[in-house]
């Protein structure tokens, strides 16, 4: 069933409650409100400040399929960190991969679809990204 809002919410829930992701992000023991501000469900990095780290989880365009009954839906996860902490971004996306790959979310299996390497971000920051896919039915 096509339900992008619920799919994204379930994926965000898995990531934002994973102990390894929280540790890599420096969020262990932080209040939920702080976690919600640092792990978000959209691509937004133009307001990064004060050396904060941010994890963005969002949809990118679906992939074409040979069968019109299922489509590969794509989720991107980008980790933005201060430039001096660039390797932390890779540590975070590894933790996200471990938290999501082959997990079920909203009745769909989430599969690792590859790393994106270094991506554009705010000045003074470094960003690394990865993608996941799952098959939606219509």
Separation CA 26–CA 57 (nearest Å): 17
Q: What integer pLDDT is reported at residue 50 of this predicted model?
A: 86
Q: What integer pLDDT is reported at residue 68 of this predicted model?
A: 72
Q: Evaluate whether 60 touches 36 at the Cβ level (below 8 Å).
A: no
Q: What is the band of 55 on the pLDDT scale with cuts at 50, 70, 90?
A: very high
Cα angle 36-73-37, degrees, rounded to a multiple of 5: 10
The predicted-structure confidence for 4-48, as pLDDT tens digits, reads as follows 999 999 999 999 999 999 999 999 999 999 999 999 999 999 899
Q: Mean pLDDT score of the chain, rounded to an integer?
A: 94
In the chain, the domains with their CATH numbers are: 4-137 (3.30.2000.10)
Q: What integer pLDDT is reported at residue 2 of this predicted model?
A: 78
Q: Evaluate whether 76 touches 58 at the Cβ level (below 8 Å).
A: yes
Q: What integer pLDDT is reported at residue 49 of this predicted model?
A: 86
For tokens 């790959």, the residue is 101
Using only the alpha carbons of the chain, give its radius of gyration: 15
Mean pLDDT on 38-62 = 94
Q: What integer pLDDT is reported at residue 138 of this predicted model?
A: 58
Q: Quote the pTM value.
A: 0.93
């Amino acid at each position: 069933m096509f339900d992008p809002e619920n799919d994204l919410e379930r994926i965000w829930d898995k990531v934002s409650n994973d102990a390894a992701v929280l540790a890599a992000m420096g969020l262990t023991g932080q209040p939920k409100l702080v976690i919600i501000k640092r792990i978000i469900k959209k691509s937004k990095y133009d307001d990064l400040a004060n050396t904060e780290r941010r994890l963005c989880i969002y949809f990118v365009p679906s992939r074409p399929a040979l069968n019109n009954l299922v489509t590969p839906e794509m989720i991107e996860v980008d980790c933005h960190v201060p430039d001096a902490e660039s390797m932390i971004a890779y540590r975070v996306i590894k933790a996200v991969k471990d938290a999501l790959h082959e997990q079920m979310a909203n009745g769909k299996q989430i599969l690792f679809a590859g790393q994106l390497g270094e991506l554009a971000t705010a000045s003074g920051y470094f960003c690394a990204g990865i993608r996941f896919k799952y098959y939606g039915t219509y």
